Structure 1
Amino acid sequence: MIMIFVTANESAKFFGSGLTLTALCCSLSVLHLGVYDKTERQVSLAALNECHGRKLNARSKQDLLVRTKRRWVLSTFELQEEMDVEYPHIISQMFNDKTRGRKSAFQISGEGVEEGLFSINESSGVVFVHRRVDREKKSMYHIEFDVWDRDDHKKLDRELSFDVEVQDINDNAPEFTKVPPPATVLENTKDEDLPLLLEAKDIDQPGTNNSKIAFSVKSQTPKEPKIEAYQVDDRTVQLKLKGCFNYDKAKQYKITVEAKDHGEPQHSSSAVVTLNIKDANNHPPVFKKRKYEAEAWEMKTYKNLLRFGVDDKDTPNTDGWRAKYFFISGNKGEIFQLETDTKTNEGILSIMKETNYEITTFVNLRIGVENIQPLCICKDDKLTCNASSLPPPDSINITVRMIDTNDPPEFKPPTADIYVKEETEPGVLLFTPTVHDVDSSSIRFELSDDKADWVSVDEKTGQIISTKKMDRESPYVDSNGVYKVVIAAVDNGEPPGTSKCTVNIHLSDVNDNVPMLVNNSLIMCGNGDNKVIVSVQDADGDPFSGPFSFSLVDDETVKQHWKLDPAYGDQGGLVMVKALPYGNYSVPLLIKDQQSQISQETLDVVLCECEDNVLLLVLECEKVKTTFEYMDKDEGNQTLIKYNQEGGGADCKAEPTLLTPTSTFIVTDGIKQSYIMKKSEMSPVTYEEVFSTDVNTVSKSLINHNSHVMSLHRERDSHRNLEEHLRSNSSNYQRSLSLWSEQRLEGQIDRKLCVINSNQADHTAYQPFSYAYEGQGSRCQSLDELSLDNLGDDLQFLDNLGPRFTVLGRICHQTMQGKDTQL
């Protein structure tokens, strides 16, 4: 059994320090347990039964009665922080039963020992603390100690240790860790949380009264309305409003919030927060006057007819001050309009609709006013914002005297629709208007709009009568077949009143137009698919127009060379049955609409050879060819002398003459000659092809495929370059066309000369032939009258005929010199 006992000397030391035996017992919370045989298992407690009149708590019993084999079981010493005692101060004493009869030495090490905070008496085992300790810096110290035999310098027992726990005292006040910046709320804020949330912390021991915090509003300026502190948790507080703010009385509040702990003695700290108040709508607008009067003429609009103002005690230029006016009664038909002048806050009354009054009339208007921001009023420290609980908005009465004026006649209806078949004989009564005028009994009618001059109007009755046949296909009729006539009614008032009526005349269609070709002249490529599309138009509408039926005239010669495919539809197709010589052909056609209305049209077909990507140029050349005016620039003009004729030279072609050396006949009509030409055969050379610079004529030339290959390559490259040039710059089309013509002309002449050379291989000199005589073979019925009066005798302009003739002369001259040919 181990016992704890204090010697007289040691007791004297403790008592000398002011400790009683009971106090000593309380300070010693460690039992020094001896080592026994294995069979001994019982431990009895011989001391420390009670301390300060209290039994040991469960923890103390556990600390004192634990035993292990050959080991010291030590407890935790409690040391109060910041003790106001004389230092060094005894906190405990170590004993060991093995020290009996021996010279022993105690030794400690660990936390606080090296720093000089703790020490031990080597002989007695008394443990000292040398200065005050702060729990908030360190709350627990772990110390190891050994017992040595002074004689043999051996340990008497195993290494042991104990802990020194620092007991907390309330030596710290709570500190605010979160204080919000100044906040702003509206004046009409209700009883609710304010945007003010604070946090505080106490660093004393958690879970004790020393660290538990209570919050409160210590003071506020001004004192009303009351602001309270609502504690959210042990560290956070929310400020709340009780009552209503009044911006007129206070615009800012200073609130002091206190945080106090529950320890002994209590400690506290405080923080000051700022709350700004923003004015809101708690004053209703009030009209400056209670009644207003105004005058206005009927059938007129008025902007800013009347102004009226209000007083409002809220802050100017805020939504709680800005007025919003509204009609309570009297604005039937929404004739009047209310607006607010944003600068003066005045109300503006305007008349927005022209209104007719048979007699002078008084209009009574009742107008109210409110603010943009809803109104809230504080009553009995309670904020009321419900409209049903608030007093009604202020209002005024306005009387507007509407003065009667001369009202214009009124057509009933103002727009009329009538239906007439086109081409109806004139003299038909189309429309009789109905007119009402409350101010006048005398009305006259006028015709205000009749663009085609098809009708007349009776001045007294307003009856509209047709004076001419009406054509539905007229440009004055719209796409829906409607012709518009406008009549006016004028009364005898002062000033005269006028009103208008629009009469829509719907013209039903009749079959009064025959089908017509969209284009009477087309180009057919002899080296293509030998087909052209024939487009037709008919001014009539359905069912008097297409689809159409196409047929050829009853002529065997025509039908031997041409056929129609398709022969029915909105378009027809003209197909060449047999290959024909290149030239101009006239094909008579019969076109019939759905109602069997037939027209005979003549389609002029230009049959020619079209090289790749050159058809576009041929078409454009056809357009250029129709111009016969004299031009300074030699681009597309075939006339050397201006003839002073209106329209230029006659549109008549001379037939081409074959340049074969063995015949001198003239081809006047390809169909009559029944001449069939195959594409693989060599083209005969004609006078027109050699000497004409017309691009369309050049396109008719037949290429000798067995000669002059290099010339063909040159032509192909020229065509490609020209096509690219046209795509990139259409404005230079005419100039490009001229250059292309020169190159093409050069190539044609080269090829024709090759043909001539090959045919004249056996001749040493070129012998000219007669190709045609003046007046022979011409299809023209008469010759143009030529007038050269404007030229006089000066023909020097023939000395320089331009680049085309220069190229022609150079080629001919070089070729003839090479053959030693005399011209």
Structure 2
Amino acid sequence: VLLDFTIGFHVEVKEWDENGMVRWKTFRRQKREWIKFAAACREGEDNSKRNPIARIRSDCEENNPITYSISGVGIDSAPFGIFVVNPRTGEINITSIVDRELTPVFVIRCFAKHSLTGIDMEQPLELRVRVLDINDNPPVFAQTVFTGSVEESSMDNTLVMKIIATDADEPNHLNSKIAFKIESQEPSGAPMFIMNKYTGELHLANYLDREQHSSYTLVVKASDRDGAADGISSLCSCNVKVLDVNDNFPTLAQSSFSASISENSLSSELLRIQALDADEEFSDNWLAEFYFLSGNEDNCFEIVTDRATNQGILRVIKELNYEHLQTRSLLIGVRNVAAFHHSVAHEYQMSGTPITIEVKNVIEPPRFHPSSIVFSVPANTRANYIVGTYTATDEDTGTIASNVV
């Protein structure tokens, strides 16, 4: 047996006839072949001028009547009728505009059947028609408005937020390669942020002071084709809130304070002491905490903070005695409820603000000291016997009261 595959399946068989003579009998089967090609189609264009975009042919048609047919998406599956085939020639034509974002590749199953018997003359052929991308999709942001925050006094290059956008054009292609850029900043001035062109990460570029600007609004542009002039662009807004830190020391509205109170009385609000602080209102960074440095060793006073006004309310919680001390001198300090930020904590200096309290004298009735006394009287005491002496004290002078009835 001789096998030859060069031009087909060639078999020669050696036989002996009835007379014992040797002869060679040859069997030939030509190699069946699908002849095919497929041109790529460009989306959004009339590709019919390139028809036929593909051609199929089986070499079985040399000896048999062949009918060609095709099947698949774009043919007998939605979207229908994009591709048609000439059943006699095997030429495949495109009839309508295609969209790569809907179908990036059309897989066409090709059949060659005997025209009379309908028997498959070949194994089905899979023909792939690639749809070429055009830049017909703009970048799309994941959100219309992005919101982020960053603490004031943060270090340069601190990550603020990440902007996300996608492009429906062909992946890993220039048409879908997005470049980000900050278009504008409000309030304007020195650029406070930088944008990573490829990742969309927004970083801090400058020193932020919340007391100067508490927020920024940025307009960010995303452009495909790596930001080239012929790319398609989209815009979004980014709102950045500057978070407060306790980087401002509280101060008092006056360099000194004074008040007066009558002796032997209490007061729930003797004096209001206004604290000033540039940090965020009503936060612990702004709220004042008052304390005594001197003058309140006997704990006659206390200071509480009015959280609505940030005022210290000086109270008298023990009665004061004019005869003991006519003027009380207090020295107070102020700090915040929150600890000072590490960037300024080392600069804080404890300083006192004086408060002078005048104690007013009032006319006081004589008082007995002690308030009660016991005398012993012998038995059989005669009338007018002096049991003892119990004198009252004039509280204003500290001497024995006169004219006491």
TM-score, length basis structure 2: 0.65
> Structure 1 or 2: larger helix share?
1
Q: Is the 8 A contact 1:324 1:370 kept in 2?
A: yes
Task: Tell me which amino acid in the other structure corresponds to 1:110.
Answer: S
Residue 398 in structure 1 maps to residue 371 in structure 2: no
- After TM superposition, give the deviation of residue 310 of structure 1 in Å: 4.4
Task: Tell me which amino acid in the other structure corresponds to 2:56.
Answer: M
In structure 1, the partner of 2:71 is 110
* Mapping for residues 62-77 of structure 1, pairs under 5 Å: 72=33, 77=38
Helix, strand or coil at the partner of 1:331:
coil
Task: Tell me which amino acid in the other structure corresponds to 1:492.
Answer: T
Instruction: State how far apart, in whole Å, the 2-side matches of 1:81 and 1:147 are.
Output: 31
Q: Per-residue CA shift, 1:358-403, capped at 9, x if unaligned?
A: 854754322123455666xxxxxxxx55552344366412244568
- After TM superposition, give the deviation of residue 226 of structure 1 in Å: 1.7
Q: Is the 8 A contact 2:60 2:66 kept in 1?
A: no
Instruction: State how far apart, in whole Å, the 2-side matches of 1:193 and 1:156 are.
Output: 64
Residue 350 in structure 1 maps to residue 315 in structure 2: yes
Task: Tell me which amino acid in the other structure corresponds to 2:345.
Answer: S
Residue 254 in structure 1 maps to residue 217 in structure 2: yes
**Distance change >3 Å, CA 35–CA 322, structure 1 → 2:** same
Q: Is the 8 A contact 1:176 1:201 kept in 2?
A: yes
Residue 90 in structure 1 maps to residue 52 in structure 2: yes
Name which of 292, 312, 320 aligns with 1:327.
292
**Distance change >3 Å, CA 251–CA 466, structure 1 → 2:** farther
* Mapping for residues 182-221 of structure 1, pairs under 5 Å: 188=152, 190=154, 192-194=158-160, 198-221=163-186
Q: Per-residue CA shift, 1:697-728, capped at 9, x if unaligned?
A: xxxxxxxxxxxxxxxxxxxxxxxxxxxxxxxx
Instruction: State how far apart, in whole Å, the 2-side matches of 1:198 and 1:74 are.
Output: 50
In structure 2, the partner of 1:164 is 128
Task: Tell me which amino acid in the other structure corresponds to 2:394.
Answer: G
* Mapping for residues 247-646 of structure 1, pairs under 5 Å: 249-250=212-213, 252-262=215-225, 266-275=231-240, 284-294=249-259, 300-312=265-277, 322-341=287-306, 345-354=310-319, 360=325, 363-372=328-337, 385-386=342-343, 388-392=345-349, 395-400=352-357, 446-447=372-373, 457-458=374-375, 491-494=392-395
> Structure 1 or 2: larger strand share?
2
Helix, strand or coil at the partner of 2:298:
helix
In structure 2, the partner of 1:140 is 106
**Distance change >3 Å, CA 316–CA 173, structure 1 → 2:** closer
Q: Is the 8 A contact 2:69 2:112 kept in 1?
A: yes
Task: Tell me which amino acid in the other structure corresponds to 1:163.
Answer: L
Q: Which has the larger radius of gyration?
A: 1
**Distance change >3 Å, CA 405–CA 346, structure 1 → 2:** same
Helix, strand or coil at the partner of 1:87:
helix
Helix, strand or coil at the partner of 1:326:
strand
Instruction: State how far apart, in whole Å, the 2-side matches of 1:79 and 1:444 are.
Output: 117
Task: Give the % identical residues.
Answer: 23
**Distance change >3 Å, CA 295–CA 147, structure 1 → 2:** closer
Alignment root-mean-square deviation, CA: 4.9
Q: Per-residue CA shift, 1:490-509, capped at 9, x if unaligned?
A: 64334698xxxxxxxxxxxx
In structure 2, the partner of 1:226 is 192
Q: Is the 8 A contact 2:40 2:132 kept in 1?
A: no
Q: Per-residue CA shift, 1:2-45, capped at 9, x if unaligned?
A: 99xxxxxxxxxxxxxxxxxxxxxxxxxxxxxx852479xxxxxx
Q: Is the 8 A contact 1:284 1:393 kept in 2?
A: no
Instruction: State how far apart, in whole Å, the 1-side matches of 2:370 and 2:277 are.
Output: 58
Q: Is the 8 A contact 1:283 1:314 kept in 2?
A: yes
- After TM superposition, give the deviation of residue 242 of structure 1 in Å: 3.7
**Distance change >3 Å, CA 159–CA 339, structure 1 → 2:** closer
Instruction: State how far apart, in whole Å, the 1-side matches of 2:37 and 2:292 are.
Output: 88
Instruction: State how far apart, in whole Å, the 1-side matches of 2:142 and 2:371 are.
Output: 93
Instruction: State how far apart, in whole Å, the 2-side matches of 1:251 and 1:387 are.
Output: 19
Instruction: State how far apart, in whole Å, the 2-side matches of 1:389 and 1:154 are.
Output: 94
In structure 1, the partner of 2:401 is none
Greater relative CO, 1 or 2 (CA 8 Å, sep 6+): 2
**Distance change >3 Å, CA 259–CA 336, structure 1 → 2:** same
Q: Per-residue CA shift, 1:303-355, capped at 9, x if unaligned?
A: 44444434555676666655432223332132221134556544333332246
Helix, strand or coil at the partner of 2:164:
strand
Task: Tell me which amino acid in the other structure corresponds to 1:81.
Answer: R
Instruction: State how far apart, in whole Å, the 2-side matches of 1:374 and 1:201 are.
Output: 44
Instruction: State how far apart, in whole Å, the 2-side matches of 1:331 and 1:186 are.
Output: 43
Q: Is the 8 A contact 1:73 1:160 kept in 2?
A: no
Instruction: State how far apart, in whole Å, the 1-side matches of 2:313 and 2:120 are.
Output: 110
Instruction: State how far apart, in whole Å, the 2-side matches of 1:272 and 1:242 are.
Output: 18
Q: Is the 8 A contact 2:193 2:203 kept in 1?
A: yes
Helix, strand or coil at the partner of 1:162:
strand
Matched pairs, number: 357
Q: Is the 8 A contact 1:291 1:396 kept in 2?
A: yes
In structure 2, the partner of 1:81 is 42
Helix, strand or coil at the partner of 1:90:
coil
Helix, strand or coil at the partner of 1:94:
strand
Instruction: State how far apart, in whole Å, the 1-side matches of 2:121 and 2:269 are.
Output: 112
In structure 1, the partner of 2:382 is none
* Mapping for residues 765-776 of structure 1, pairs under 5 Å: none
Task: Tell me which amino acid in the other structure corresponds to 1:272.
Answer: S
- After TM superposition, give the deviation of residue 110 of structure 1 in Å: 0.9
Helix, strand or coil at the partner of 2:345:
helix
Q: Per-residue CA shift, 1:95-119, capped at 9, x if unaligned?
A: 444444x575451221334544334
In structure 1, the partner of 2:387 is none
**Distance change >3 Å, CA 181–CA 226, structure 1 → 2:** closer
Helix, strand or coil at the partner of 2:49:
coil
Helix, strand or coil at the partner of 1:257:
strand
Q: Per-residue CA shift, 1:476-531, capped at 9, x if unaligned?
A: xxxxxxxxxxxxx864334698xxxxxxxxxxxxxxxxxxxxxxxxxxxxxxxxxx
Helix, strand or coil at the partner of 2:184:
strand
In structure 2, the partner of 1:478 is none
Task: Tell me which amino acid in the other structure corresponds to 2:184.
Answer: S
